[in-house]
Each structure stands twice: as structure tokens, then as C-alpha cells.
Amino acid sequence: MLKGKVESLLNKALEEYSSLFLVDFTVGGDNNIKVVLDGDEGVSLQDCMNVSRAIEHNLDREEEDFSLEVTSAGATSPLMLPRQYKKNIGRKLKVRTSSGELEGILVETSTNGITLEWKAREPKPVGKGKITVQKKQEIAFSDIQEAKVKLKF
């Protein structure tokens, strides 16, 4: 019952703040509500507060006790939804598929998947030595087991 009520309030809040979207939502034991958000332009502390208030102010603690945590998807969290890839175009990703791992710059997203580009050293077609070549690969969302943004320090 609580989960349905919170879900309804959450959907209403996300309609109001349309640049935000839901990554994860759980109601655990002891009515611990956890909401993880992401946004097309990122998620600010104010965004988390707005969504938290939209939920909390419409629930009655006298009726049911609960705890509420509204957070943003962390910088090192795996990308879960196609919508998250779009805001990371131009960033380096590490993508794991059933056939191995790839690292490259996310250059494009489509309704079906992503396109990565990277440079690789390969043997020259003729003679000795290696040359640097530009590689490009499309990866379907259905083939991605995990994808993370590689942060530079």
C-alpha cells in the first residue's frame, strides 16, 4: 500500500520536474524508501529536496512510519537506462558485453544502442612496426552487461 502511494507521488513529481528521471526505487523493510534519480542536465541537491518534499509532505506519518532517502545516481554508478547515455556523449566509457570489454569515447546514442570510438595500435599492413588507427563500434543496449563512465583525475 505504501509503495503504491509513494510511486504515485513520485510519478507526479517527475512529471513536474521533467528533466529528472527515475533510476531505482525501493521500499525495504521498516518502510525504508529509497529513490535514485538522474537528470538530463544532472541532478542538483535542490532537485533531490524537491522530489523528497513532494513525497514526504503527502504522506501521513501518523498513518504509517517511514524513512525516505532521495539521491542522485553516483558518478561511478553503472549506466542503467538508455536516457543516461545521451548526457554522457563525449565522455569515456568502459563497456562490458558478453564478448569482452571495450573502452572508448561515447560518440552517439540511438534507440537501439551506442557507438564508441577509440584509437588502437595495430601492425602495419606492409612492413614492420605499428600504426595508430581509429576504431568505431556500435553496441546494442541488449548486449551491454555493464557500462560505466571512466573518470579522469
Model pLDDT, residue 116: 97
Longest dimension (CA), the chain: 80
CATH class of the domain comprising 82-149: mainly beta
Domain regions of the chain by residue span: 2-72, 82-149
Model pLDDT, residue 60: 87
Please tell me the CATH code under which domain 2-72 is placed. Answer: 3.30.300
Model pLDDT, residue 10: 95
Q: Which residue has the cell 563500434?
A: 137
Model pLDDT, residue 62: 85
Full pLDDT tens readout for the chain, 153 residues: 889 999 999 999 999 999 999 999 999 989 999 999 999 988 999 999 999 999 999 998 888 899 999 999 988 899 999 999 999 999 999 999 999 999 999 999 999 999 999 999 999 888 889 999 999 999 999 999 999 999 887
The Cβ-side half-sphere exposure at 143, using a 13 Å CA radius, reads 15
Separation of alpha carbons 141 and 147, rounded Å: 10
Cβ(59)–Cβ(135) below 8 Å: no
